[in-house]
A and B are shown apart, each in its own frame.
Chain A
């Protein structure tokens, strides 16, 4: 009997697959759709204090090997966002990871207090949105000090396990990861989109995205995601890691687990394989376990 069930920070998940922030996660109906296809953990859209409509379109453009997006942190705000979790709770037991975004420790802490009364299982701090630099400057995850400040402040008020979502677009990724762990993060989530990058429409002579640049996701970023998870483990990170970046197939997911992840995010693959991708990847992981005579997800974790 092969087993996809796994334990994450004391919560039982039916699968190691995670819906990351930013994909099909604006409303409870989307959570339901994705969890119905077998995602083990649902991450909400990153919620801010007030509603944000996001950037003007175009906000996505497919590029070779992936996609650029600059949604611009559109979300209904923390109040309505928590209502969506409540509605989901009425129809499902699949655990929820509440993602929040603010610009400083104070902002994150204020949102984290709201999270205490929510129906969420985990709190994820989005320290790494690459698409709002015009508005907010460099991602918070660029600075070890800032990351540590935010996490300790949030930890001091929040009853939920705290997950720090890190940016790959920094010079010393593992130092930031270590700083996050030292500051008390219960788990790390890596990686957010890469870049950002630019796509140009040569007929119009204009950037395709109205925001000019957007975060790169999809199969082309997988090798970098694998390396950063691997290096985090090498550098001594022992807390759980949600690994993501270009995971599109069961083979990709197995690679991510072998690199050192405990859970695996699947986002842009929804574009390539539909929301059914969670069911497909679950089946593909099971086939792999079968073929190699492994029994549990834990048998292949950190194998390299």
Chain B
């Protein structure tokens, strides 16, 4: 019996989020939890991992940024064009009362959801599931950080959920409700950590350096989960491409959502990642952190 089923199907819907970001929706009944990902191919060369940005058990969406050849080809696709997906894979985010984690009930759960640029989509599915689990909308602080205001993804979607949303970008001209001039870490320090220590859990999703920049603002006891992205090939835990150092955690199996205790062990976090060949690629600056692997 084959357990790793592939589903090849037409694209049901394409939503333009920004000029460079689109959501692709499929009528696929895949069981998936926030943080998990699928592998997607069009059989024309390349199969890439994408975080699930929405699912209701009957349909599933992934939100894709145009960054390289593969995604550029996806952006030429129309509704009805055939692609192939497999998954969902990997670990998922903590939901109080649903899976194991800290002993906090939904009513007292006050999470900060910090996303950098393209890291936002999986946090949208997370916010929906947190609300469904009974976490009050007012307890959920979403910090969306981008290079410019135009890079702030899913603003409308988060607005629709009634959660406490802040878009952070250096390009913000005036401080206003829902806007912060600065980085994700700056916004976190000001908004989520706050003077009264409002949040008691942090989820982060985005480039390594963005997630790492949050950490100096965490109190020692603060529990968190970070969503990791590494070069993936098999996505089923055998090829070793996405294994992080030095613990041997496979981002496709034990990740991509890693707990604080796992993150603290990492030697490569924010320092380097491995390329398709397995060779080490050091982050020299933010530009090195791309959404679609470091092209060799």
Q: Which residues of A contact B (CB under 8 A)?
A: 22-30, 32-34, 36, 45, 51-54, 56-64, 69, 71, 74-77, 80, 87, 91, 201, 203-204, 206-208, 210, 267-268, 270-271, 274-275
Instruction: Determine which of B3, B48, B276 lies in contact with A74 in the assembled complex, contact meaning CB atoms within 8 Å.
Output: B276
Closest residue on chain B to residue A66 by CB atoms: B2
Judge whether B47 is part of the interface by a CB distance below 8 angstroms.
yes
Bound-state CA distance A34–B280 (Å) is: 21
- Determine whether the beta carbon of B233 is less than 8 Å from that of A204: no
- Determine whether the beta carbon of A57 is less than 8 Å from that of B47: yes
- Determine whether the beta carbon of B277 is less than 8 Å from that of A51: yes
- Determine whether the beta carbon of A74 is less than 8 Å from that of B2: no
Closest residue on chain A to residue B236 by CB atoms: A271
Can you report 8 A-B residue pairs in the complex whose CB atoms are below 8 A from each other? A33-B248, A45-B240, A45-B278, A51-B277, A54-B277, A57-B48, A203-B82, A208-B43
Given known contacts A30-B243, A59-B233, A23 and B278 CB-to-CB distance under 8 angstroms: no
- Shortest B91–chain A CB gap in Å is 14
Instruction: Determine which of B3, B9, B44, B278 lies in contact with A27 in the assembled complex, contact meaning CB atoms within 8 Å.
Output: B278
- Determine whether the beta carbon of B9 is less than 8 Å from that of A203: yes
Instruction: Determine which of A24, A53, A60, A201 lies in contact with B277 in the assembled complex, contact meaning CB atoms within 8 Å.
Output: A53
- Determine whether the beta carbon of B241 is less than 8 Å from that of A60: no
- Determine whether the beta carbon of B9 is less than 8 Å from that of A201: no
Bound-state CA distance A63–B1 (Å) is: 8
- Determine whether the beta carbon of A60 is less than 8 Å from that of B234: yes
- Determine whether the beta carbon of B233 is less than 8 Å from that of A57: yes
Instruction: Determine which of B233, B274, B277 lies in contact with A77 in the assembled complex, contact meaning CB atoms within 8 Å.
Output: B277
- Shortest B282–chain A CB gap in Å is 13
- Determine whether the beta carbon of B45 is less than 8 Å from that of A210: yes
Bound-state CA distance A59–B82 (Å) is: 19
- Give the A-B pair count, Cβ closer than 8 A: 145
Instruction: Determine which of B4, B240, B246 lies in contact with A91 in the assembled complex, contact meaning CB atoms within 8 Å.
Output: B246
- Determine whether the beta carbon of A270 is less than 8 Å from that of B277: no
Q: How large is the interface on B (under 10, 10 to 19, 20 to 34, 35 or more residues)?
A: 35 or more
**Which residues of chain A come closer than 8 Å to B243, judged between CB atoms?**
24, 26-27, 29-30, 33
- Determine whether the beta carbon of A75 is less than 8 Å from that of B238: no
**Which residues of chain B come closer than 8 Å to A63, judged between CB atoms?**
2
- Determine whether the beta carbon of A27 is less than 8 Å from that of B277: no
**Which residues of chain B come closer than 8 Å to A274, judged between CB atoms?**
237, 253
Judge whether B264 is part of the interface by a CB distance below 8 angstroms.
no
Instruction: Determine which of B3, B47, B239, B248 lies in contact with A23 in the assembled complex, contact meaning CB atoms within 8 Å.
Output: B239
Closest residue on chain B to residue A54 by CB atoms: B276
Bound-state CA distance A64–B43 (Å) is: 21
- Shortest A197–chain B CB gap in Å is 14
- Determine whether the beta carbon of A53 is less than 8 Å from that of B275: yes
- Determine whether the beta carbon of B238 is less than 8 Å from that of A58: no
**Which residues of chain A come closer than 8 Å to B82, judged between CB atoms?**
203-204
Bound-state CA distance A126–B84 (Å) is: 33
Among A23, A57, A204, A275, the one with the most B-chain Cβ atoms within 10 Å of its Cβ is: A57
- Determine whether the beta carbon of B236 is less than 8 Å from that of A23: no
**Which residues of chain A come closer than 8 Å to B249, judged between CB atoms?**
29
Supplied contacts A87-B246, A203-B8, A203-B9, 12 more A-B pairs, CB within 8 Å: A26-B241, A29-B244, A29-B248, A51-B275, A51-B278, A54-B276, A57-B41, A59-B239, A60-B234, A60-B236, A80-B278, A201-B84
Bound-state CA distance A166–B239 (Å) is: 21
Given known contacts A53-B275, A59-B47, A36 and B248 CB-to-CB distance under 8 angstroms: yes
- Determine whether the beta carbon of B245 is less than 8 Å from that of A27: yes
**Which residues of chain A come closer than 8 Å to B236, judged between CB atoms?**
60, 62, 271
Bound-state CA distance A71–B241 (Å) is: 11
Judge whether B46 is part of the interface by a CB distance below 8 angstroms.
yes
**Which residues of chain B come closer than 8 Å to A275, judged between CB atoms?**
237, 248
Among A30, A201, A268, the one with the most B-chain Cβ atoms within 10 Å of its Cβ is: A30
- Determine whether the beta carbon of B240 is less than 8 Å from that of A25: yes
Bound-state CA distance A274–B234 (Å) is: 14
